[in-house]
Amino acid sequence: MAPSCSSRVAVVVGTRPEIVKVAHIVGLLGNQGYLVNTGQHYDHDMSGAFLNGLTPPEVVLSGVGAQPRSRQFARIIEGLGEHFDRQPAAAVVVQGDTNTAAAAAQAAHFAGIPVIHVEAGLRSRDRAMPEEINRMLVGVLADWHCAPTRRDADNLVNEGVDRSRIMLTGNTIVEATQAAVPRDGERHALLARHGLEHGRYILATIHRPENTDDPERLAAILTQFAKLPLPVFFAAHPRTRAAAARHELQADLDRLSPSGPLDHRTYLALASSARLLISDSGGLQEETTVLKKPLIVVRNSTERPESIEAGFAHLVAPGPQITRVAQALLDDVGLDQRLASTPSPYGDGQASRRIAALARSYVV
C-alpha cells in the first residue's frame, strides 16, 4: 500500500522542460513521491505527450493554460493551496523558472511545506525577462537550493542564502539527455521520416516572448533563417505560429516550411544530427553541451553563461549577425572535434539521484 500524501513528496510540473528535467527524480522517488500537473502548457503536443512514460499525475489543475501570467499564478496558488490543505505533502519539489515553479513555491510556503528548488541560482541580471523574476522569487521562498553549477551557488550566496541550504547537484538535463537521445537505428529512421540527411541541415526553434511579441524582431529572425547557407528545419512553437499570423508574417514563416512541435526523442535525434542549432531555448543551451553541438542563442541575455564559456553556445541578437555567426561556425573545421572533447559544465549525470535523496529525507 502506498503511503498517504502527508508522507510523500509532491513534484510539481506544468511545462515541457519541467517534465523532462524531473522525470528521473520522480522515478527515483517511486511511491515516496507523486506528480502534480498545473496544466500551464495546455496543448497536448506541448505537454501531454511528455507525461507519457511517467506515473500519471495525481493532481491536475484546470483553468491555468492560455491564461495571462497573473491568472496563472492566482489559479495555481489557489488550486495547490486547496490540495495542500486537504493532503499536506512532506516537501514540494519545483523546477526552474516557470510560472508553475514560482506559484507552486508560494503555495507550498503558505502551507508551511518545505520547498526544494531544482535548478536554483541561475541569473541573467535581466529583469525584463519574466523567468528572471520567477527565479528570484523561488530563491526567496526555497528551503533547499539545488544549484547546477558553482556559479549558480555563488549567485545565491551573494543574495544572502546560507551555504548550508545550497546543494551543488549538477543539472538533471545531463542524465535526461543521455537517456532520451535515440541510438543510431532510431535516429536514422527519424531523419528519414523528416527528409533530412545527417549533418546537412540546421535545426531552429524560436518561442520566447522577447522574439515573438515584437513584429520587427520576429521578422528579422525569419528573414535571416531564410538566408542561412544550409537548409533550415524549423520546429515552430505554437506561440511562434500565432505571432506570425498576428504580425502578418505568415509568408515569411511559410517560406521555411515549418514543422509542428516535436516530441522530445525526435527533437534530440534531429538536434544530435544537425550541423548547427539555433534557438532561444534555455534548456537547449544545456542539452547542446551533452549533444556536443554548436548553438546560436538568439536572445538579449542568458542565465546559462557556462554554455558560452565552454564554447558550445554563442549569444546573438536578431539580424544579420545570425547568418554571419552561423557561417563562421560552419567554416570552423576543428569545431566538432573541440566540442566533442569538451565536458559539459552541468555535471556528471547524477543530479537526479542527489536531489531524490534530499527529497526522501523529508519523508516520514
Dihedral sign (CA 207, 304, 47, 107) = negative
Q: Does the pLDDT of residue 135 top 60, yes or no?
A: yes
SS3 label, residue 78:
helix
Average pLDDT over residues 219-240: 96
Residues of the chain with CATH 3.40.50.2000: 5-172+349-360, 182-340
Q: Does the pLDDT of residue 147 top 50, yes or no?
A: yes
Q: What are phi and psi of 108, to 5 degrees?
A: -65, -45
Q: Does the pLDDT of residue 281 top 60, yes or no?
A: yes
pTM to 2 decimal places: 0.92
Q: Does the pLDDT of residue 199 top 50, yes or no?
A: yes
Q: Does the pLDDT of residue 350 top 50, yes or no?
A: yes
Q: Does the pLDDT of residue 76 top 90, yes or no?
A: yes
Q: Does the pLDDT of residue 5 top 90, yes or no?
A: no
Chain segment 40-63, per-residue pLDDT in tens: 976 554 455 455 567 889 999 988
Average pLDDT over residues 299-321: 97
Per-residue pLDDT at 1: 32
Among 143, 139, 146, residue whose Cα is nearest residue 111: 143
What angle, 0 to 180 degrees and rounded to 10, lies between the N-to-C axes of helices 99-110 and 130-141?
20
Per-residue pLDDT at 7: 85
- The highest-level CATH class for domain 5-172+349-360 is alpha beta
In this structure, the number of other CB atoms found within 10 A of the CB of residue 90 comes to 21
Per-residue pLDDT at 51: 57
Average pLDDT over residues 227-241: 95
Chain segment 86-133, per-residue pLDDT in tens: 999 999 999 999 999 999 999 999 999 999 999 999 999 999 999 999
84 contact partners, CB below 8 Å, separation of at least 6: 10, 107, 108, 111, 113
How do strand 276-279 and strand 232-234 relate by DSSP bridges?
Answer: unpaired
Q: Does the pLDDT of residue 195 top 80, yes or no?
A: yes
Per-residue pLDDT at 4: 42
| Mean per-residue pLDDT over the chain, rounded | 94
**Superfamily grouping for domain 182-340:** Glycogen Phosphorylase B; (3.40.50.2000)
**CA 172, CA 28: separation in Å to the nearest integer?**
13
6 contact partners, CB below 8 Å, separation of at least 6: 87, 88, 89, 90, 364
